[in-house]
């Protein structure tokens, strides 16, 4: 009987491994950027076309490779980062498994150009689906150029699962930002379809953060520093008043490696307790340095999760460090009634030396040596002109008696009501709605009564209004007396640019859209000036993770997000007129029984149901 277990061919094994390593174009970007950093590069360029589906190229000025290394780097489990198993617990580099390049070469067309500084000629390799098609010496500059073309060309099923270019580009930018934030001493540039998206020169950490997330980020940051035997914490946290709905600007780095940790995130949220509004997320850029032997970074294929030896101590230190910074720079409230906040020293001047003022005296000054001007000079020829005599004040009123005569004044007589109850015969409209617990609206009907959820009902009304305005391209706007300027990050600005036509159809009027800001001169009638930033931030947060493929789905998601932001909330007190207006608008909707999120807007209780309650 023949054996049923067989060894897989290398190209099949590489394609299977590629399923773990290369999930989308952003995975290739991450691996190539980390290899360039490990090569000691000080200038790295990332070039993409069609969100990485057509081309991903990384050019660096690192130490390069010789001919043997250039061939060997595409073999599985070939790496220059480790030599023995113990090295896994003393890692100072990014990649170490030796599967990335082999996996990439198995599912794409790869072109490698590399040269070491001491060599006269470099090496030019071309690989298609793990097969070397050409290898030749070439005149190249120092460093490495790695081009990945036609990703997933031999796995069409995986290529079909890729999202739109906008979504894939956003994932690439996310990976790019995670790498550049960890290495502010390296010059990074990124191009997409020929246009420059980022140009980040060498700088300090604060300047690198500002260069990525717009100029207004500088005033939002509060520094964090803590040195202990277990961990060294450095970085910045955001002020509570700038917290947003989304988690876009939250970064943890452990030994210059980006990680995700819900446990450490909980420590940050605990430090902000009592300072954030409901649902708000603070921004933070925190860098943790720990001894390499106290962590295990080989527990996840993408190496974004780390296991710590002493998580509880790290949790406590991180929480106290963040809380100390919030209190130290007067971000958190302080119970000190005698402290004058205007006398506090800004933290940017904490370590500056005091500049004492200097006094300069003119020792040669003698006031008695000045020549005195005689008063007779005033009477020189042409120098004196006698003043005209002013007329007496009585002359101002000459002629008034002749022209002004007080006339008889008539006053309107006020209408007096003979009786306090004179209007009792006028029948007032009866109240047909009632609000219960600032949440539900009760309205009687013939068969019983309706109980309406005011928030869900208002969401349905606004949702259908926004859908109509966007699709019909007609909406009323209210002009602002003074235009308002809102600031967003690069990712958020690209999304707002894409949504601009739909936003204008809802009533927004944009005067200008820059790289990190928008100027708004008009708002929809249902949006107040104070709600403009809330609506746009919520819209960006809802659509930032996954933008729908079709334009209709995008418009639908946009209408849902704006309806959720602007709907009356639970706890709001509604007048009788507002209650009736909401009920009438709800039953004028095409689909009034459910909210935009498929939750019931009202229930009915019949008289029979009430009778059963009292029949006991």
Asked if residue 582 and residue 535 are part of one domain, the reply reads yes
Are residue 181 and residue 287 in the same domain, yes or no? no
pLDDT band at 409 (very low <50, low <70, confident <90, very high): low
Taking residues 258-273, what's their average pLDDT? Answer: 89
Q: Is it the case that residue 419 has pLDDT exceeding 50?
A: no
CATH of the domain at 478: 3.30.1370.100
Residue 371 lies inside a defined structural domain of this protein: no
The answer to whether residue 396 is domain-embedded is no
Residue 515 belongs to a domain: yes
Of the residues 200, 221, 239, which one is the last residue of a structural domain? 200
Task: Give yes or no: residues 196 and 218 share one domain.
Answer: no
Six token digits for residue 340:
């004058």
How many domains does the structure of the chain reveal?
Answer: 3
Q: How far apart are CA 58 and CA 175, in angstroms?
A: 14
Together in a domain, 147 and 275? no
Count of beta carbons in the 10 Å neighbourhood of residue 487: 18
Contact 448, 604 (CB under 8 A): yes
390 has a pLDDT exceeding 80: no
Q: Are 515 and 547 part of one and the same domain? A: yes
Residue whose C-alpha is closest to residue 494's, from 520, 523, 512, 515: 515
Report yes or no on 16 lying in a domain.
Answer: yes
Let me know whether 463 and 551 are in one domain.
yes
- Name residues whose C-beta falls within 8 Å of residue 264's C-beta, 6 or more positions apart in sequence: 252, 314, 315, 318
- 151 and 241 fall within a common domain: no
Q: What does the pLDDT average to over 243-262? A: 84
| Final residue in a domain of this structure, among 200, 222, 248 | 200
Residues 302 and 277 in one domain: yes
Q: Are 196 and 216 contained in the same domain?
A: no
Domain that residue 157 falls in: 10-200
pLDDT tens per residue across span 347-369 = 666 667 777 777 878 778 777 77
Name the residue with tokens 């963040």.
Answer: 322
Express as a percent the part of the chain with pLDDT over 90: 21
CATH code (residue 293)? 3.30.230.10
Whether residues 28 and 152 fall in one domain: yes
Encode pLDDT of 454-496 as tens digits.
999 999 999 988 888 877 766 778 888 888 888 887 777 878 8
**Does one domain contain both 36 and 108?**
yes
Per the model's pLDDT, the better-predicted residue between 59 and 166 turns out to be 59
Where is mean pLDDT largest: 229-238, 294-303, 304-313, 502-511? 229-238
**pLDDT tens digits along 62-106:** 888 888 888 888 887 666 655 555 555 555 566 545 577 888 888
pLDDT band at 426, cuts 50/70/90? very low
Helix (H, G, I), strand (E, B) or coil at 111: strand
- Asked, for residue 412, whether it belongs to a domain, the answer is no
Look up the CATH number of the domain holding residue 162.
3.30.565.10
Q: How far is CA 271 from CA 234, 237, 280, 313, 325, in A?
A: 16, 11, 14, 15, 10
**Residue where a domain terminates, one of 297, 328, 359:** 328
Can you give the pLDDT at residue 241?
84
For residue 487, the cross-strand partners are: 517
CB 176 within 8 A of CB 74: no
How many angstroms separate the CA atoms of 200 and 43, rounded?
10
Per-residue pLDDT at 376 = 46
Write out the two tokens for 11.
């190209």
Q: What is residue 420's predicted lDDT score, i.e. its pLDDT?
A: 47
Tell whether 406 is covered by a domain.
no
Question: In terms of domains, do 132 and 247 share one?
Answer: no
Determine the pLDDT at residue 293. 79
pLDDT mean over 175-189: 93
Decide: residue 566, CB within 10 A, 0-12 exposed, 13-18 middle, 19+ buried. buried
In a domain, 561, yes or no: yes
Q: What is the pLDDT of residue 489?
A: 75
380 inside domain:
no
Q: Are 564 and 526 in contact (CB under 8 A)?
A: no
Give the mean pLDDT of the chain.
79
266-318 pLDDT per residue, tens: 999 999 988 887 778 889 999 999 888 777 766 555 667 777 778 888 999 99
């Amino acid at each position: 009987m023949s054996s049923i277990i067989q060894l897989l061919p290398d190209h099949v094994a590489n394609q299977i491994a590629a399923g773990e390593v290369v999930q989308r174009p952003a995975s290739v970007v991450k691996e190539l950027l980390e290899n360039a950093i490990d090569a000691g590069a000080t200038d790295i360029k990332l070039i993409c076309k069609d969100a990485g589906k057509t081309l991903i190229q990384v050019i660096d000025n690192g130490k390069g490779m010789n001919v043997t290394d250039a061939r060997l780097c595409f073999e599985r489990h070939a790496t220059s980062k480790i030599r023995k198993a113990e090295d896994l617990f003393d890692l100072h580099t990014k990649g170490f498994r030796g599967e990335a390049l082999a996996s990439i070469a198995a599912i794409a067309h790869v072109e490698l150009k590399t040269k070491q500084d001491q060599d006269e000629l470099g090496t030019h390799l071309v690989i298609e689906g793990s097969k070397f098609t050409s290898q030749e010496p070439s005149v190249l500059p120092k460093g490495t150029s790695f081009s990945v073309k036609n990703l997933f060309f031999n796995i069409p099923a995986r290529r079909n699962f890729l999202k739109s270019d906008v979504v894939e580009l956003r994932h690439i930018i996310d990976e790019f930002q995670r790498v550049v934030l960890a290495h502010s001493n390296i010059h990074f540039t990124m191009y997409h379809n020929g246009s420059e998206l980022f140009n980040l020169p060498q700088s300090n950490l604060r300047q690198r953060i500002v260069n990525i997330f717009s100029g207004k980020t500088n005033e939002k940051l509060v520094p964090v520093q803590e040195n202990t035997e277990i961990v060294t914490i450095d970085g910045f946290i955001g002020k509570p008043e700038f917290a947003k709905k989304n988690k876009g600007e939250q970064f943890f780095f452990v030994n210059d490696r980006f990680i995700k940790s819900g446990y450490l995130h909980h420590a940050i949220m605990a430090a902000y307790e009592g300072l954030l509004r409901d649902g708000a997320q603070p921004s933070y850029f925190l860098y943790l340095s720990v001894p390499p032997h106290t962590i295990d970074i080989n527990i996840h294929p993408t190496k974004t999760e780390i296991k710590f030896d002493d998580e509880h101590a790290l949790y406590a230190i991180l929480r106290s460090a963040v809380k100390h910074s919030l209190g130290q720079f007067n971000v958190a409230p302080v119970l000190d009634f005698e402290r004058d906040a205007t006398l506090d020293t800004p933290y940017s001047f904490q370590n500056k030396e005091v500049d004492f003022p200097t006094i300069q005296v003119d020792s040669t000054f003698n006031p008695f040596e000045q020549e005195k001007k005689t008063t007779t000079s005033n009477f020189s020829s042409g120098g004196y002109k006698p003043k005209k005599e002013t007329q007496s004040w009585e002359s101002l009123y000459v002629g008034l008696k002749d022209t002004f005569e007080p006339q008889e004044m008539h006053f309107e007589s006020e209408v007096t009501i003979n009786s306090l109850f004179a209007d009792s015969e006028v029948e007032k409209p009866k109240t047909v709605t009632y609000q219960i617990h600032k949440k539900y609206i009760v309205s009687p009907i013939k068969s019983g009564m309706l109980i309406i959820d005011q928030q869900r009902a208002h969401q349905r009304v606004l949702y259908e209004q926004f859908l109509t305005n966007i699709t019909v391209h007609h909406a009323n706007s209210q002009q602002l007396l003074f235009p308002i300027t809102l600031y967003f990050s690069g990712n958020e600005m690209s999304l707002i640019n894409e949504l601009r036509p739909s936003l204008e159809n809802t009533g927004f009027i944009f005067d200008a859209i820059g790289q990190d800001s928008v100027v708004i001169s008009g708002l929809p009638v249902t949006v107040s000036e104070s709600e403009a930033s809330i609506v746009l931030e919520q819209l960006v947060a809802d659509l930032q993770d996954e933008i729908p493929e079709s334009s209709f789905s995008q418009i639908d998601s946009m209408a849902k997000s704006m309806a959720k932001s602007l709907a009356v909330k639970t706890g709001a007190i509604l007048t009788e007129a507002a209650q009736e207006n909401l009920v009438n608008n709800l039953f004028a909707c095409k689909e009034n029984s459910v909210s935009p999120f498929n939750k019931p807007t009202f229930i009915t209780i019949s008289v029979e149901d009430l009778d059963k309650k009292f029949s006991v």
